[in-house]
Amino acid sequence: MASLPDARILRKIFKAYGLLSLTQVVVQFILDRLRTRRMYRMLRGVPMAAMPPLGFMGNIPHMVQQLRRIHAFRDEISRGFGVCWTRGILGDDQSVFLLVRDPACIRHFLKDAFAKYTKPFQNRDIMAMYFHEWLGDGIFSARHGPTAPDGGRLWSIQRKIAAHIFSRTNFTNFMQDVFQSKADRLCAVLSEASLKSKGQAVDMQSLFFKFTMDSVMSIFFGEKTDLIGGQSNLYGQAFDEAHECLIRYVFSSLPFNKVTSFLPWPFGGWNGLSWRLHAALSPTCRRFRAARQTLDAEAYRLIRNCRADPNLSQRRDLLALFVQSKENFSDGFLRDVVLSFVIAGRDTTACLLSWMFYALATNPDVQAELCREVDEKLVRKDQDQDQLPGWRSLSHTEMPFLHGVLYETLRLWPPVPVDLKQATEDDVLPDGTPVPRNAKVVFIPYAMGRDPANYPDPEAFRPQRWIPFVAPAPHEFPVFQAGPRICLGMDMAIFEAKLVAATLLRRFRFELQEGQAELITYGYKLTMNVCNDLGQEKESDHLWLVATPRGP
């Protein structure tokens, strides 16, 4: 029988581990301190964001405290500056943020110097790490540029394959048919609800998310669903659960995870034992991972069905394009593609529609004017059937007020209210602002859209601002990003939202349920959904509107 090591050997082992651990912590602290001192020196002439003094934890306590109004807070601390900066934990080179509102500077890092600015490093940034756990190497989390593990090849391939489905031919044929059939189904559900209980409010945001999910399942994955009609929506519910829990966990655990990142191996670091234990004990993180398992199971089911489809070569959906690609993608990678395009096609457009109808319900004069335009352009009084809304009839030249309503909604409530890139090398912005390597440049569409220097009376909902329509430069209105990573589905989302709005407004008028006006705010997610109760553990994402059939 082997003898146990005596106490002297154990003491030597622990002593050696303690010495190595101390050395690791000291060396890491010195290296981080040197890196951040260099960054702080480079930013010495750049104005600090207008926020209370920063202690050791930097802006983290303020951000956590302001989480319920985080977008308005970012607007307040950056207003009046073209570029300003703030930081997280003192000495953390991953917590230096430049808040950028200058369009020329945004153009620089989104387009002109594209290769120098990419997604944050997944092994050093908590949000990027969990985002990667959720969406893997899909198009949203894949890094581009020379510092990406594959040089940006995966991102480039996904973009190239996906571009095939966003052609004008697809818009005017396949996509229009899907959107119109789903919009008609939505009208039927609203009519049935109105007949059952006159004046009863319905949750329009829930219906818009079901509408976009039904459309995504058909266009992207070749599956027919009827979530609008009451079919089980476990996939959508799991997606919302994962999304909300990820954001809540990351923000609530920031102080703990930042501090413990300095602990020695194997306790510290982004994937150390302390972090793993914290995640395992966190109810929010457990909910996130349980929801992710549901998403994985459904994604793999879609992939299996697609691979086994005898008519695969005739399919026109996005997943079929990836399955038939010469790249011979693995099921694991296809799972990442599925989840990434769900958030691209479902969440963003559903958020846009929800805020659009909130704006119409709270601005009855705007709704009345839009109904007049819809009636004039689409209702045929001398024929049995109305004209169906199409690509040409919904254009800004044919229906300028509808186009104005949509862009005014995007201005005030952009579906992605904030985004960022990380500098992979030292750089200088067009206004002379130095950008240290590893600094994160943050652009804030929510704040830019509410800047009185760009939009007089910015809080007012005035579609007339956009008539006659002059398309804003992407870097001046970065709702859909700009440069090589500009949103592939931008035209699809605009067309889809217009078609749904026109279809619904031909048949219904909408009012906000009494008592809801003072409750409406935005939620915690990366996409800006309507929320009517933030709650402590789980937010309530309802938009209660009364849909009343319009008279003949």
Q: Who has greater pLDDT, 89 or 151?
A: 151
pLDDT digits (tens, 9 = 90+) for 5-46: 678 888 888 788 788 878 877 887 788 888 899 999 999 999
By percentage, how much of the chain surpasses pLDDT 90? 70
Amino acid identity of 216?
V
Q: How buried is 319 (Cβ within 10 angstroms: 0-12 exposed, 13-18 middle, 19+ buried)?
A: buried
Residues of the domain holding 79: 43-549
293 phi/psi in degrees, rounded to 5: -65, -40
Residue 421 covered by a domain: yes
CA distance 531 to 523: 5
Residue pair 75/417 in contact by the 8 Å Cβ criterion: no
pLDDT digits (tens, 9 = 90+) for 335-363: 999 999 998 899 999 999 999 999 999 99
Coil, strand or helix at 134: helix
Residue 112 covered by a domain: yes
Q: What is the mean pLDDT of residues 246-254?
A: 86
pLDDT digits (tens, 9 = 90+) for 456-512: 999 999 999 999 999 999 999 999 999 999 999 999 999 999 999 999 999 999 999
Task: Give the end-to-end CA distance of the chain in Å, rounded to a whole number.
Answer: 94
Give how many domains the chain has, as a whole number. 1
| Predicted local confidence at residue 386, as pLDDT | 60
Give me the chain's average pLDDT, please. Answer: 91
Residue pair 416/487 in contact by the 8 Å Cβ criterion: no
**pLDDT surpassing 80 at residue 287:** yes
Residues 6+ positions from 99 with CB-CB distance below 8 Å: 49, 74, 77, 78, 81, 83, 84, 85, 86, 442, 444
Residue 36 covered by a domain: no
**Any known ligand binding at 371?**
no
Strand partners, 87: 96
CA distance 92 to 97: 11
By percentage, how much of the chain surpasses pLDDT 70? 96
Residue 33 covered by a domain: no
Q: What is the DSSP letter of 270?
A: T
pLDDT confidence tier of residue 516, bands split at 50, 70 and 90: very high
Residue 14 covered by a domain: no
Q: What is the mean pLDDT of residues 285-299?
A: 96
Residue 324 covered by a domain: yes
Residue pair 255/60 in contact by the 8 Å Cβ criterion: yes
Residue pair 60/250 in contact by the 8 Å Cβ criterion: no
| Predicted local confidence at residue 198, as pLDDT | 80
Instruction: Give me the CATH number covering residue 396.
Output: 1.10.630.10
pLDDT confidence tier of residue 280, bands split at 50, 70 and 90: very high
